A and B are shown apart, each in its own frame.
Chain A
Amino acid sequence: LHVHASSNNTIVSLTDANGRVFFNSSGGQVGFRKAQRSGFEAAYQATASIANKARDKDIRIRSLEIRLRGFGTGRDAAFKAVTTLTSWPISAVTDVTPIPFNGCRPKKARRL
């Protein structure tokens, strides 16, 4: 379960071990717009919708690894949703936020 929690949105994808996607969902897909997509409720509902889709398709999950990317509000929310709404056995929790070893030069500083 990949959770991409940015500061503007949270998108959640359920994939297999190789990364091939089963389901996608995001704050926008569950009906929130613009600023609300990044909220707690949006991420919660997004993971809920993925849980529902998986149940409808009768997909049995033997073990789940949660991969968190980014530090938005949806990070916590998605995790809580997975633990409370589903009974999927979680085998590992990983953080996969891309951290460069001094790679690309970021954008210039905002001067307010």
Chain B
Amino acid sequence: MVNLGVLSGLSWRASLGAARKAIVQRQISTGNREVSGSLRGHRQEFASDLTGQIIRKDNGMVSRSVSVLHGDAVKAYGRLNRILAENDIRRELKLRERYEKPTYKRQRLRRESHARRFKDEVRRKVHLIYRMSRWGL
């Protein structure tokens, strides 16, 4: 099973979009498909094939699957947890448990983005100072 999300480190939702794009590109690159004797149009065949492929790909769980290498299941579990943590899935689920009114949601998003930018700036300055101290300043 292709694990696009795991391999390319995208968030799992982006990787679902990537999986869909990959499927589309594969379809298009096979060139002109002859209507294989059925009365359905070219577009309908394409669409039904596409949905078939997506459904077969476990629709949405592709990037949340981790294949176990060399029988080490514990490591695979650790990798799965890492993916979930990096994508904040637990937190998102907790937020979705209860409805959050739009006004609270806006306030929360503003707070979070502000905090993120502030922490980024501080981190940058700290790293700069660290590098300067290594250069001997």
Contact = CB atoms under 8 A, between A and B. Distances in A.
Interface of A: 66, 68, 71, 79, 82-83, 89-97, 99-101, 105-110
Interface string B44-83: 0000000000000000110011111001011011001000
B73 A93 contact: yes
Interface stretch (B20-28, B97-105, B106-114, B129-137): B97-105
A104 B90 CA distance: 18
B89 interface: yes
A97 B65 contact: no
B93 A93 contact: no
Contacts of A68: 80
A93 B89 contact: no
B65 A93 contact: yes
Given A95-B80, A109-B98, A83 B64 contact: no
A3 B92 CA distance: 20
30 contacts: A66-B73, A71-B90, A71-B93, A83-B73, A83-B74, A90-B73, A90-B76, A91-B67, A91-B68, A92-B67, A92-B68, A92-B76, A93-B76, A93-B80, A94-B64, A94-B66, A94-B80, A95-B64, A95-B80, A95-B84, A96-B61, A96-B64, A99-B93, A99-B96, A100-B96, A107-B99, A108-B99, A109-B98, A109-B99, A109-B101
A31 to B, nearest CB: 27
